[in-house]
Amino acid sequence: GAVVSQHPSRVICKSGTSVKIECRSLDFQATTMFWYRQFPKQSLMLMATSNEGSKATYEQGVEKDKFLINHASLTLSTLTVTSAHPEDSSFYICSARPGQMNQPQHFGDGTRLSIL
């Protein structure tokens, strides 16, 4: 149980393109989902907390107009990287946690984004 599906797994696109990444909890409802960015050989950097039915909470230094998050249902959150540039190239990973307290978070497979 507790499967999180993330798509696409790989994106290569030109500078200026907007890219949407989907994160779905397949067998549980998630009121909260998290979006991370990971650079090579580095830790998981939390970008924002996605809350179902309300605005996302962004970490300090993360541009909310650049990284648009929508959490329209209890099983789906999306991250849109708007007008992507080469410096946005990274590995983006989402995670979700069942609504009950004391539950671990489960990660998606990640999306490797390459902006040319």
Partner 1 sequence: GENVEQHPSTLSVQEGDSAVIKCTYSDSASNYFPWYKQELGKRPQLIIDIRSNVGEKKDQRIAVTLNKTAKHFSLHITETQPEDSAVYFCAARFNTNAGKSTFGDGTTLTVKP
CB of 88 to partner 1, least distance (A): 19
If the CB atoms of residues 15 and 103 are measured against partner 1, the closer one turns out to be: 103
CB of 42 to partner 1, least distance (A): 7
CB of 64 to partner 1, least distance (A): 16
Q: How far apart are the first and last CA of the chain?
A: 37
| Identified binder of partner 1 from the candidate list 21, 106, 113, 115, rule CB under 8 A | 106
> Should residue 70 be labelled a site residue for partner 1 when binding is judged by CB under 8 A?
no
- DSSP summary character for residue 105: -
Helix (H, G, I), strand (E, B) or coil at 88: helix
Instruction: Report the candidate in 70, 88, 69 with the shortest Cα–Cα distance to residue 12.
Output: 88
> Should residue 34 be labelled a site residue for partner 1 when binding is judged by CB under 8 A?
yes
Instruction: Report the candidate in 85, 54, 52 with the shortest Cα–Cα distance to residue 67.
Output: 85
> Should residue 71 be labelled a site residue for partner 1 when binding is judged by CB under 8 A?
no
Instruction: Report the candidate in 52, 18, 54, 48 with the shortest Cα–Cα distance to residue 35.
Output: 48
Number of residues that bind partner 1 (CB under 8 A): 22
CA dist., res. 35 & res. 50, Å (int): 8
> Should residue 5 be labelled a site residue for partner 1 when binding is judged by CB under 8 A?
no
**Binding residues vs partner 1 (CB under 8 A):** 31-32, 34, 41-44, 46, 49, 51, 93, 99, 101-102, 104-110, 112
